[in-house]
A and B are shown apart, each in its own frame.
Chain A
């Protein structure tokens, strides 16, 4: 089976940096993805890590340590529009995907 843990809520102020952690337990781990979902909207893809290390996409970066079964999403220069839920999702080498329960990020002025 697969399980993922991420904090349920995070609050930060505009312009700050926030890190959302994700730990997982899975057999046949293949990669870790991150998705953003605004209230009432569909999840949208942010980033993917298949190998250890940091992947940077603009203000968002994602990190993976396969040996620690751990990853994080780093959001820099926070903006009000970044207020949303953020989900980590593991994929396995059998092609199966599982989402975490999400972290609600609230950005305050």
Chain B
């Protein structure tokens, strides 16, 4: 089966600019996650969707970050305006229905964002 697709792979922007990331999960996966991974740290969950509803966005900085999952399939994550501390790898992952034993998450290759 095709894996989780993310684009772009790399992005360099200036602070205060906006940026958007795109994710296409594995077909049939109900749950989609966006993680932020700063160098040397574990992935931090930004937002979790189940179909097109939000399960958890408690760690999403809502003053500058937004995300949507169109029709319960593709998803976009936007940052506006970007800050220097947003430099990180943004990982998208998908899995079958969360809250069951079949919770293996499949990750995309991520988008490495550098804010200068």
Chain A interface residues toward B at CB < 8 A: 30-31, 33, 35, 41-45, 48, 50, 87, 91-102
B residues near A97, Cβ cutoff 8 Å: 33, 45, 48, 98, 103, 105
B residues near A35, Cβ cutoff 8 Å: 105
Given that A30-B99, A101-B41 are known contacts, is A96 also in contact with B56, CB under 8 Å in the complex? yes
Chain B interface residues toward A at CB < 8 A: 31, 33, 35, 41-45, 48, 50, 55-56, 91, 93, 97-99, 101, 103-110
22 contacts between A and B (CB under 8 A): A30-B103, A31-B103, A33-B103, A33-B105, A35-B105, A41-B109, A42-B91, A42-B110, A43-B107, A44-B107, A45-B104, A45-B106, A50-B101, A94-B55, A95-B31, A95-B50, A96-B45, A96-B55, A96-B56, A96-B98, A99-B44, A101-B42
Majority DSSP secondary structure for residues of A touching B: strand
Is B101 within 8 A of A48, CB to CB? yes
Quick one: closest A residue to B93, CB to CB?
A: A43
A residues near B103, Cβ cutoff 8 Å: 30-31, 33, 48, 91, 97
B78, chain A: closest CB distance, angstroms:
21
Is B99 within 8 A of A43, CB to CB? no
Q: A89 to B114: give the CA distance in the assembly, Å.
A: 26
Is A93 within 8 A of B99, CB to CB? yes
Q: Please give 9 more A-B residue pairs, beta carbons under 8 A apart, in addition to A87-B43, A95-B97, A96-B45.
A: A30-B103, A45-B105, A91-B98, A93-B99, A94-B55, A100-B42, A101-B41, A102-B41, A102-B42
Is B43 within 8 A of A48, CB to CB? no
A81, chain B: closest CB distance, angstroms:
19
A residues near B107, Cβ cutoff 8 Å: 42-44
B residues near A96, Cβ cutoff 8 Å: 45, 48, 55-56, 98
A79, chain B: closest CB distance, angstroms:
22
Q: A100 to B35: give the CA distance in the assembly, Å.
A: 13
Is B101 within 8 A of A31, CB to CB? yes
B residues near A92, Cβ cutoff 8 Å: 99
Q: A42 to B98: give the CA distance in the assembly, Å.
A: 20
